[in-house]
Amino acid sequence: MATRPIYYDTETTGIKIGKDRIIEIAAFDPELDRRFCSFINPECPIPPESTAITHITDDMVKGAPLIKEALQGFSEFCSGDVVLIAHNNDAFDKPFLEYEFKRAGLDMPVWTFLDSLKWSRKYRSDLPRHSLQFLREAYGIEANQAHRALDDVLVLYQIFSRMVDDLSMKKILELLSQNSQVVRMPFGKHAGKPLSEIPKDYVAWLAKNGALEKKENATLKETFEKLGYLTGAV
């Protein structure tokens, strides 16, 4: 069973998997005290809205490795029985990696993945929000250069280490695989409110727009069903 954690993060030209490209990837191996960080030339212009968030410009990636070379380096860094941990891994970083490996004509290694956002929503339901920067503030961790891959990775390592304390990786993966009832709204304008206080018309709107069909919201949907909120919602 994979037990060695490696924290990683990607920065991209946008949020559409299959259209947008990874422009930076970073990782931190705390057990071996090693770091990996690489810009990636996306072979397309970086949209201004992406640069506004990441501060990564076309000039910064102009001479960077192409995706195939960067992923080969990343794979070598993440060799062995490792668990790749990222914040919003299931909905963002992992799918981007899968697509980019395919686009580069490479087979993605058989890694174990862990989503720290999923852990936070499940075991810190007392918190109103679960973004990386909110968690950084909640745990009193020093500010960094947000939305740059290596900085976010190092902050995530500090946050997740405090969230799981001395739990073994085996136990963490076991707990995360178990279903548990969500008690507070994890996102949106009602984030942090007990689910019993969420307006039924808002739940119906979420259902109508497909938000509850997303993989990461399966437990939330199940809880709303138990509360009787989805009867005739769609």
The set of catalytic residues is: 147
Distance CA 45, CA 38 (A): 18
What burial class does residue 123 get, using C-beta atoms within 10 Å of its C-beta: 0-12 exposed, 13-18 middle, 19+ buried?
Answer: middle
Please, which residues have CB within 8 angstroms of residue 186's CB and are 6 or more apart in sequence?
121, 125, 130, 220
Please, which residues have CB within 8 angstroms of residue 128's CB and are 6 or more apart in sequence?
184, 191, 192
Question: Pairing mode, if any, of strands 34-39 and 22-29?
Answer: antiparallel
Residue of 19, 176, 166 lying closest to 83 (CA atoms) = 176
Distance CA 74, CA 99 (A): 15
For residue 77, give Cα distances in angstroms to 73, 113, 114, 135, 146.
6, 15, 17, 27, 23
Q: Are 8 and 157 in contact (CB under 8 A)?
A: no
The letter for the amino acid at 17 is I
